[in-house]
Amino acid sequence: MTYCLGIITSTGLVMAADSRTNAGVDYISSYKKLFDFSIAGERVLFLCTSGNLAVTQAAVTLMTRDIKTAAEPNLHSLTNLYDVARYIGSKLRALQLEDREWLEKDKIDYTCNILLGGQISGEEPGLYLIYSQGNFIQASKETPFLQIGETKYGKPILDRILSFDTPLQAAAKCALLSIDSTMKSNISVGPPIHLVMYEIDSFKVRYELKLKIGAPYLRKIRTLWEISLNQAFERMPDIDWEHYLELPDEPTSED
């Protein structure tokens, strides 16, 4: 399993991904899931992948080969993010169409998803979630984040804190806390954690980090977050049992 997310704000973009693909009592493996296809000064393109590892690795390999051979189209020749998303979707469809018969024969789940985030010169930044079928959705001011993989544990903090106007540094911190919350609840998500933060119109990747197991910053934010949550919980008022016991039963739809 995996967990990746993208956040878009009025001032830039944050992309984050864990690296764990299998987890069990005796087997844990890690693979890179955040890929950078940027050209400094012209375009910034990040891809995060989840789902069937063979399909996503093949898709990344084909897209890399298209760039090296100058095939048309490719990630460096397309002039807008919408067409980039369509191109990535076409790669996923082609791979699954080619291998579907054999994958279905052995009942292998070949579904996968890809997050695309970035900016191409001449247009605004964008964030897309591309499905196995090749279609996609786009993040918006009203929904400024997209997730793939094991999404449920890291979503509450994003829902409560993020907006399109959240400062970029705060969005990056929120992304790490979202991933840490997921790691706390699900062993199938784990480090190394890859994080990039992109400032709008800079067309350069200035902020990028990789946090390994035991990284001091990961330990620090987990400890502080747990302390803060416990303190907030303790400030919540106790249930006023006597008050509610004295209230009449609420009428039902049958009354």
* Domain positions in the chain: 3-215
In this predicted structure, the answer to whether residue 26 has a pLDDT above a threshold of 70 is no
As a whole number of angstroms, the distance between CA 3 and CA 176 comes to 11
Instruction: Count Cβ atoms below 10 Å from residue 200 Cβ, excluding itself.
Output: 16
Element (H, E) at 106: none
Per-residue confidence (pLDDT) for residue 101, from 0 to 100:
81
* % of residues, the chain, pLDDT over 90: 73
Of residues 187 and 83, the one with the higher pLDDT is 83
pLDDT value at 27 more than 60: no
Q: Give the mean model confidence (pLDDT) for residues 63-71.
A: 97
Position with higher pLDDT, 214 vs 251 = 214
Residue 28 pLDDT exceeds 70: no
Q: Is the pLDDT of residue 48 over 90?
A: yes
Q: State both tokens at 114.
A: 């890809």
- Asked if 8 and 164 touch (Cβ cutoff 8 Å), the reply is yes
Which range, of 25-29, 75-79, 135-139, averages the lowest pLDDT?
25-29
pTM of the model: 0.90
* Cβ contact 158:16 at 8 Å: no
CATH class of the structural domain 3-215: alpha beta
8 Å CB contact between 118 and 44 = yes
Under the banding of pLDDT at 50, 70 and 90, the label for residue 40 is very high
Give residue 254's pLDDT band: very low, low, confident or very high (50, 70, 90).
Answer: low
